[in-house]
Amino acid sequence: MGEVTPILGGGAAAEPVNLPPAPPREQVERLVAASARTHGHLCPGQVIGVRMSILGLALLGYPCPLPFPEIKNLVGVVEIERCLADAVATATGLRFGRGSLKLINLGLLGATFWDMANQKGVRLISLEKARELAAGYAPGVEGEHAQQTEAYKIMPNHELFQARWVDLNLPPHELPGQRPDKVPCDGCGVPIRSAQVRRLENKNLCALCAGDTYFKQLEPLEL
């Protein structure tokens, strides 16, 4: 039987944080508006992602969005692929295409921000109880969705999130700025990038040749 380690509330005593309970309303509104434009709609997840970004970066001593050149110090990990991921990308400036934002899909409303310069990281997870508190922070707003969207803009950090210092376990080749050598596949010849070689029976194989794919191959096309 595996033991389940409690994540929430367990372990060392919490360290008090010297930050205002919520970031300036104007900063939140500006980033939520930008994020809703990119994402395609305004939703509670956008606000959670924006608040998470502002808080996570503030805990590491950075403003949000990240300015240049400081943005090069940071890597973000989002733990769900939906609304929150777009909000974190827009608010922080971290990007999947630059290797500075990662998706590790755990299906959790969580994100980690890692400061490569100081080897320091913080993980935030959205608290479910914030949903029930939303109405109290948005009196006069009709509808649960709209209430949450408005409430999350002003709700204190401690009611929205749980935070913890963490060390990042990503393999070094996944950090931004790393470019592992291309390796030709011994099966089909395509160059394999990003250290994604599968070693099988003493061969360097791409994911397809190793039988590790997310699709089923049908007829090829002639272009």
Q: Which two tokens stand for residue 30?
A: 């500006």
Beta strands in 49-152 (DSSP E): 74-78, 101-103, 110-115, 120-126
Nearer to Zn ion, 11 or 184 (CB): 184
Min dist. Cβ of residue 86 to Zn ion (A)? 7
Min dist. Cβ of residue 182 to Zn ion (A)? 13
Q: Which stretch binds Zn ion (CB under 5 A): 47-55, 75-83, 123-131, 135-143?
A: 75-83
CA dihedral 103, 109, 115, 121 (to 10 degrees): -120
Q: Per CB under 5 A, does 176 bind Zn ion?
A: no
* Partner residues linked to 103 by β-bridges: 78
Q: Given candidates 32, 78, 83, 160, which one binds Zn ion under the rule CB under 5 A?
A: 83
Q: Per CB under 5 A, does 45 bind Zn ion?
A: yes
* Partner residues linked to 199 by β-bridges: 204
Q: Which two tokens stand for residue 24?
A: 């300036």
Q: Per CB under 5 A, does 206 bind Zn ion?
A: yes
CA distance 111 to 104: 9
Q: Given candidates 187, 198, 200, 204, which one binds Zn ion under the rule CB under 5 A?
A: 187
Nearer to Zn ion, 22 or 206 (CB): 206
CA distance 34 to 107: 24
Q: Per CB under 5 A, does 47 bind Zn ion?
A: no
Min dist. Cβ of residue 66 to Zn ion (A)? 22
Nearer to Zn ion, 43 or 54 (CB): 43
CA distance 154 to 54: 13
Q: Return residues touching Zn ion (CB under 5 A).
A: 43, 45, 83, 185, 187-188, 206, 209
